[in-house]
Every structure is written in C-alpha cells, then in structure tokens.
Amino acid sequence: MINLKIGQKIQLNVERLGINGEGIASYKGRLVFVPLALPKEEILAEITENARNFSRAKVIKINKKSKERVKPACPIYKDCGGCQLMHLSYQGQLDFKKDLLLQALQKYKPAGFRNYELRQTIGMENPTHYRNKLQYQVRRLTNGSIIAGLYKEGTHHLVNLENCLVTDEKTQEIANRFCQLAEQFNLPIYDERKVGGIRTLMIRRSQKTGEVQVNFVSSLPVVIQGNWVPNVDGNRNGKKIQPVRDFDRIITALTDEFTEIQAVAVNYHPKKSSEIYGDRTELVWGNAATITEGVLNYDFELSPRAFYQLNSRQAQVLYQEAVKAIGPKKTDRIIDAYCGVGTIGFALADRVKSVHGMDITPEAIFDARHNAKRLGLKNCHYEIGKAETIIPNWYKSGHRATGLIVDPPRVGLDDELLETIIHYQPEKMVYVSCNVSTLAKDLIILAQYYNVEYIQSVDMFPHTARTEAVVKLKLKSPEELKKVRNRTKFKSTGKRSIRKK
C-alpha cells in the first residue's frame, strides 16, 4: 500500500460521507478522510495525518463542486466543530443520514440486513435554533474577558459562541448576559491549572411553556444570602477555600432581566475530571428546580440533571414514531427501559394495560413518578436501577411484558440487558437509537431472535453528522426461534458476539 507524507498534496475524487460527516476518497488503494469535502467532488487535498490503514487530509481547493454544496450560514462554522454538515444542503443531509444507517449495517452485517426497510429520514421544516439546552464551558481569557462556548474538536481551545444558529435564541441571550455580568462582578472562573470557580453553564428552555432552567457547575462553593452552597468544609487539602462571592447579585440581575427563568441551581464539581457534573446539585433560586415541558398530548416536569431530547420539535416526531412502531393495544404490558422522565411511556399509558419503566438516574425517576401522579396515570410504575437487574425481578413477581421499548445512550445496550431481552423475549420491541454504529452492533444479537420490520430515521440534530432512528422489531415465530436455539448461544463477553455451540 502506498505511503503518503504529511504535507503532501494529492488530487482526490470524493466517493461518500463517513460517520463523522467527512468526505471519503481512495488514493491508490488507501482511504483518505477529508472534512468539509462532499461526494462527487474533485479536490486538491493536503495530507495532515497518517494512521495504519488510512490518512486524513484537508481541502486545499475544490476543482469540481457538488451540486449539494451550500455556503454555511455560521461565520465560525469551521472553528467551532459543533456542526459538521452546514456546507451540505438540508436535503443532502437527510439523504446522508439514511446512508449512515446503511453504512453501519454493511459494516456489522446483522442477520437479514440487506432486506431491512430503511425509510427516508424525517427532517425539519426550519432546521435552525432547535437545541433547547445550552451546555457551555466558561473560561476567562488573558485580557480578562469571559467567554462561554465549546472546545474546538481535538483541542483545549474554547470557541466563544455568541450567536449559535442551532441553539435556542433565548438561552443564547441569557448565556451572553451571564458572561457580561461575570466580567462586571469579577466572578472567579475555573482554570484547571490555576484557580477554581464557575466552570460550566447549562441553560434549558421549554418549548411548551417558555420556562427556563439555569444550572451553574462550580468547582467552589457559592455564597447565597451569606450561606455557602453547598455547605462544605472550608478547607481542602490543607488549604482554605475561598468561595464564589457576589453570586446573589448575578442571580438577581439575570432573573430580573429574564422573567422566563423559573429555577437556578448550582452543581458542585470540585474534582479535576472531564465529567461535566459533580454529585451535588442544589436549588438556589425559584420555588422548584423543575420546568414544565410538553410533548404529544401531555405535559411533564424536568429536573436540571434529567435527560430530555435536545430538539423539542423533533421529539414530537420521534415519540410519535416510537408509539406507532410499538403498535399499542389495551392488553399490552410495556417495559420502558432507559425511561428518563417517562416521556415515551406517558404517550402509551392511556392505550395499554400498564407501563413499567426504569432508569439509573434517581432525579429522572423522581420526575417520572411525579409526572405520572400529576397526569393521573395510575398504570405507570417506575424504579431506579439497571434494566438487566429490575426486569428479572419484575418477572419473578409475575409481571410479563408484551412489549419492550429501549432508548439507550450512545454506547448502546449493555450486554447483560441484551442477554435479559433474549431470555424473556417480549413479543414486540422498539429500539430508539442515537448511534447507528452501536445500533448495528446490537442488531447482530437482536436480529437472531427478532425480525426487523423497518428502521425510521429522524433528524434530531440538523447540520451535524448525528441521527436518531426508530427500529420496529417483532419476535420470530416458534419455528424460527427453535432453529436459532439449535444453532447459537449468546455469550456475554463485552464484544456482542454469537458463539457456536
């Protein structure tokens, strides 16, 4: 295979887009990945990195442009890295996200994948300002100014975001005002090498009510009305802690100016780690930590740490597709694994006999229980813990599920949960995926026991290389399952493998 040198310039014909939205080309048998390049383009590229089986390059000149290329609307698009596809037409993005599924299936080859029905990606009418949650790192520059934004990909350089085109406009406005106030009051700002202070700003806005929730992550306690929040020992490793003062004044200024703010919380995160949140979150302003959001035909409340889809408008579409795929019946007993605050289960509650959900995040389950009670849903039951532990306990107590909904994080289903699903085999299942690669891996196991009736992708994150998908699965017939049992056995090794007997 040919060796390419860093800095070498080569002519490339781009063939398709990869899973991160980069162009993929082949140069004398070697794969080359080129960010910002599009299929059917002829480009001059410069090699920037070499790995064992591929190279990376950057675009020097586009000799022949794709018809789908558009001018990015964002002036800092290339620096930020939060969006990867703003140079591709929106219809082109939707086509790519369907192709993403196909690429993942072709790579992992779950049973029968060539016959899966891949439906066209459902997009948005207006794919801008859709993110209901802003989560920015906060830093002080050498000139004293304070910025909030995202790290440039692969670096520790923070890109200031003052007018993000995919973020809700009101949350962006509040973030900008906070930075101004933090400068005005000389607020301590976190620097992992030197000082402690405010490190992360989270702002979430309800599409249904317009209510806003603000959560500050701080490496130091903050002073509220003379009291430390949280109330911690004033010494750390033999050194006296200096808390963040003047915080009342910033909260008062923000809440006076933005009447949409209903709750302000502080999360205490003193450790030097890449995790965004610490273990302790306390409400410091407002009557309740929650805000009210709505989806389909019901409302629910969200705590600062509870998960909810970042795109409220497309969440309507996603949950409609999940409900459609499960095909609810009055006799159904549904298990909602990774239930979060209960959103999908609530959409089913009045159409089925019962909904049982679980999640490992206590705040999410507290919200789910509260929301179910507030909605008068007496057939909903929620527990804190892992699905692979709770589901067997439910079965031992006599609960038999007819349907299962899973909406896992990007890492996909835990091997123990896969084994649990295969052991109990509910007759129908819906898999809501936010990562096509882990979905395809999980289908290696699931497709041995379930027929994949279709996969419907939903564009939850326009202008990025990410997509969500709803997979409708139906348990195979007894005759088909007998053949599977005679041929294979699931082995939980962490590699999602099927072992021959």
| 287 CB-side CA count, 13 A | 2
Using CA atoms, how far residue 229 sits from 5, 19, 183, 216, 408, in Å, is: 55, 43, 22, 12, 33
Using CA atoms, how far residue 412 sits from 88, 408, 437, 452, 463, in Å, is: 28, 5, 9, 17, 23
Q: Closest Cα to residue 27, out of 59, 52, 60, 3?
A: 3
Q: Is 339 a catalytic residue?
A: no
| 216 CB-side CA count, 13 A | 32
Using CA atoms, how far apart are residues 79 and 151, in angstroms rounded to an integer?
9
Using CA atoms, how far residue 440 sits from 102, 107, 122, 446, in Å, is: 9, 8, 20, 10
Q: Closest Cα to residue 300, out of 354, 368, 365?
A: 368
Using CA atoms, how far residue 340 sits from 3, 302, 324, in Å, is: 49, 10, 20
Strands 354-359 and 380-384: parallel
In 389-434, the DSSP E strands lie at 403-406, 428-433
Surface-to-core class of residue 297, CB atoms within 10 Å of its CB (0-12 exposed, 13-18 middle, 19+ buried) = exposed
- CB proximity list for 488: less than 8 A, separation 6 or greater: 448, 498, 499, 500, 501
- Dihedral (CA of 389, 390, 391, 392) sign: positive
10 Å Cβ neighbour count for 162?
13
Using CA atoms, how far residue 368 sits from 345, 381, 482, in Å, is: 10, 9, 39
* Tokens coding 159: 């890109």
Using CA atoms, how far apart are residues 230 and 247, in angstroms rounded to an integer?
13
Residue appearing with tokens 């586009």: 62
Q: Which residues pair with residue 136 across a beta bridge?
A: 201
Contact at 8 Å (CB) between 216 and 300? no
- CB proximity list for 304: less than 8 A, separation 6 or greater: 202, 204, 213, 215, 263, 265, 267, 281, 289, 363
Kindly list the catalytic residues. Answer: 434
